């Protein structure tokens, strides 16, 4: 479908709004409806316009971005933009598309937009230019282990487990520990092959041995599906 994605920016920092406005202007079909300096101003726009996407700061006066996100319609998608890493889990519990940490680089912004475009919804675009789309041809990632960058093939990964600022990458042969957040590693994984099922777990879809409404079993490990991810996870698995 070839139509605009109507979006707004909600941030109390003028410089942050300016940067996002510049980034949005570079993406075909992203249509900025309004720059809002607070959640109250944003609510007026959301109630009067059909907004597809909100670039939303979290730490704002009067009404926080998390509170605003809870009051928006499910069809309106959220990309959080904040300087505070500690809010990431709360952001993803609200099923945000992505969580961008300031200062936001343009390539990281593009990753978030690509995630939005992967959602099977009317707002998805067909004509985002090839040069703007980030490459997803790689079938591996590099992670830092013992002062070197270690290559891990996607098809070797069973699941990924969060340990605060560290993650465990579980494979059939070994478990790799690296200093990284699960939120950051999620942005590097293809969404067609990996699925976030809990604030602490990402699983490889092809590695699933069995699943219920409550958990997924991989290589004799039972991994819980959290309540906030359940609908998305089950919809994905039931459509395979």
Looking up residue 218, the CATH number of its domain turns out to be 2.40.50.1020
pTM for this structure? 0.51
Is residue 19 in some structural domain? Answer: yes
pLDDT band at residue 64 using 50, 70 and 90 as cut-offs? confident
Range of the domain at 153: 140-238
Lowest mean pLDDT among 4-13, 33-42, 179-188, 215-224: 179-188
Spatial separation of the C-alpha atoms in residues 114 and 132, rounded to whole Å: 9
> Does one domain contain both 109 and 20?
yes
pLDDT score at 130: 35
Q: With 70 as the cut, is the pLDDT of residue 234 above it?
A: yes
Q: With 70 as the cut, is the pLDDT of residue 194 above it?
A: yes
The angle formed by the CA atoms of residues 220, 221 and 223, to the nearest 5 degrees, is: 140
> Does one domain contain both 180 and 107?
no
> Does one domain contain both 144 and 223?
yes
pLDDT band at residue 92 using 50, 70 and 90 as cut-offs? low
pLDDT score at 126: 41
Spatial separation of the C-alpha atoms in residues 87 and 151, rounded to whole Å: 29
Beta bridge mates, 224: 215
Buried b (16+ CB within 10 A) or exposed e, 203-217: bbeebbeebeeeebe
> Does one domain contain both 208 and 145?
yes
Average pLDDT, integer, range 31-52:
93
Cα–Cα distances (Å) from 66 to 1, 57, 156, 239, in that order, read 31, 9, 36, 30
Omega into 194 within 30° of 0, i.e. cis?
no
> Does one domain contain both 13 and 110?
yes
Please state the domain count of the chain. 2
Q: With 70 as the cut, is the pLDDT of residue 148 above it?
A: yes
Q: With 60 as the cut, is the pLDDT of residue 131 above it?
A: no
Q: Calculate what percentage of the chain has a pLDDT beyond 90.
A: 47
**Coil/strand/helix, residue 126:** coil
- End of a domain among 52, 85, 117? 117
- End of a domain among 117, 149, 177? 117
Residue that the structure tokens 């990458």 belong to: 169
Long-range pairs for 224-227 at CB < 8 Å and ≥24 separation? 224/197, 224/198, 225/197, 225/198, 226/93, 226/197, 226/198, 226/199
Is residue 222 in some structural domain? Answer: yes
């Amino acid at each position: 479908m070839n139509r605009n994605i109507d979006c707004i920016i909600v941030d109390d920092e003028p410089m942050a709004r300016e940067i996002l406005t510049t980034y949005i202007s570079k993406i075909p079909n992203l249509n900025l409806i309004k720059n809002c300096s607070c959640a109250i101003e944003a609510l007026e726009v959301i109630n009067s316009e059909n907004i597809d996407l909100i670039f939303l700061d979290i730490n704002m006066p009067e009404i926080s971005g998390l509170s605003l996100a809870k009051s928006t319609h499910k069809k309106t998608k959220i990309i959080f933009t904040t300087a505070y890493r500690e809010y990431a889990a709360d952001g993803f519990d609200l099923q945000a598309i992505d969580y961008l940490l300031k200062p936001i680089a343009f390539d990281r912004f593009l990753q978030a937009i690509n995630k939005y475009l992967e959602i099977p919804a009317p707002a998805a675009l067909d004509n985002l230019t090839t040069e703007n789309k980030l490459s997803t041809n790689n079938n591996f990632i590099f992670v830092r282990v013992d002062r070197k960058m270690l290559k891990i093939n996607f098809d070797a990964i069973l699941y990924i487990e969060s340990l605060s600022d560290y993650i465990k990458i579980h494979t059939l042969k070994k478990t790799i520990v690296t200093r990284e957040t699960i939120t950051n590693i999620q942005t590097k994984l293809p969404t067609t092959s990996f699925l976030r099922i809990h604030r602490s777990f990402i699983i490889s879809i092809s590695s699933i041995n069995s699943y219920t409404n409550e958990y997924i079993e991989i290589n004799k490990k039972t991994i819980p599906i959290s309540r906030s991810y359940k609908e998305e996870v089950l919809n994905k698995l039931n459509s395979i």
